[in-house]
Structure 1
Amino acid sequence: MILVTGSVLAREDSFDEVCRLSLEHVRRSRNEPGCLSHAVHVDCEDPLRLVFVEQWADRPSLMAHFAVPASREFVRALQPLAGATTIELYDATRLDTL
């Protein structure tokens, strides 16, 4: 499984639009092949920061997601509305017990 974490720091005057775009992106992405989960959350310590957590079945599914025109458009739409962004990819294996 591929785990993706990311964040975007919205400007105060653009938070509502960044949130709307992010929810639209998450909801669309959940229907893509190989998407196990895709969510966006507001950071409790910085309410202008949105945090994304995604799980993908495999790397080809994630690469297909990045190639979807709507995914690229989402990134382009955020650029004028937000400051710092991050994305990190992890190859993860589920542990059944501690």
Structure 2
Amino acid sequence: MMTVAGSLVAGRGDRGRLIEISLAHVRRSRGEAGCLEHGVAVDAESADRLVFFERWRDREAPLAHFALAASREFAAEAARLAAAPPVLRIYGAEEIRASKA
């Protein structure tokens, strides 16, 4: 499994548009092959910061996602609306289930 964590800080006056395109992006992404979870949330401590979290079935799934024209278009528009460069981290992950005590 792969996880992706990222964030964007909206530029002055661009928060509404950034939320709008981010929601459209995550909704579209949820329908892609290999997408297990894709979400965006507003940071409770910084209202202009959007936090993204994604889970993908395998390494190939997020790579295919990033190669899509719609994903590249979202990334380009989001970067234009952001006050600083986006943060994006991709991790290989293994789920560890907590045992009941």
Structure 2 Cα separation of the partners of residues 79 and 96 of structure 1: 36
Q: Which amino acid aligns with 1:97?
A: A
Corresponding residue SS for 2:88: strand
In structure 2, what is the equivalent of residue 70 of structure 1? Answer: 70
The residue type paired with residue 13 of structure 2 is D
Aligned to 2:94: 93
Query: Partner of 1:54: helix, strand, or coil?
Result: strand
- Deviation track 1:33-70 (CA, whole Å, cap 9, x = no partner) reads 00000000000010000000000001101100000100
Taking the aligned partners of 2:5 and 2:17, their CA distance within structure 1 comes to 21
Among all aligned residue pairs of Structure 1 and Structure 2, give the percentage whose two residues are the same amino acid. 45
Aligned residues: 98
* Greater C-alpha radius of gyration: 2
Letter in 2 for 1:62: P
Question: Match of 1:5, as an amino acid?
Answer: A
Corresponding residue for residue 51 of structure 2: 51
Note if contact 2:12-2:83 (Cα within 8 Å) is conserved in structure 1: no
**TM-score normalized by the length of structure 2:** 0.93
AA matched with 1:87? L
Segments of 5+ residues of structure 2 without an aligned counterpart are none
Please give the alpha-carbon distance, in whole angstroms, between the structure 1 residues aligned to 2:56 and 2:20: 23
CA apart distance, 1:97: 2.0
CA distance in 2, matches of 1:79, 1:66: 15
**Normalized against structure 1, the TM-score is what?**
0.96
List aligned pairs for 1:19-58, cutoff 5 A.
Answer: 19-58=19-58
Deviations 1:53-88 (A, max 9, x none): 000001101100000100000011112211221000
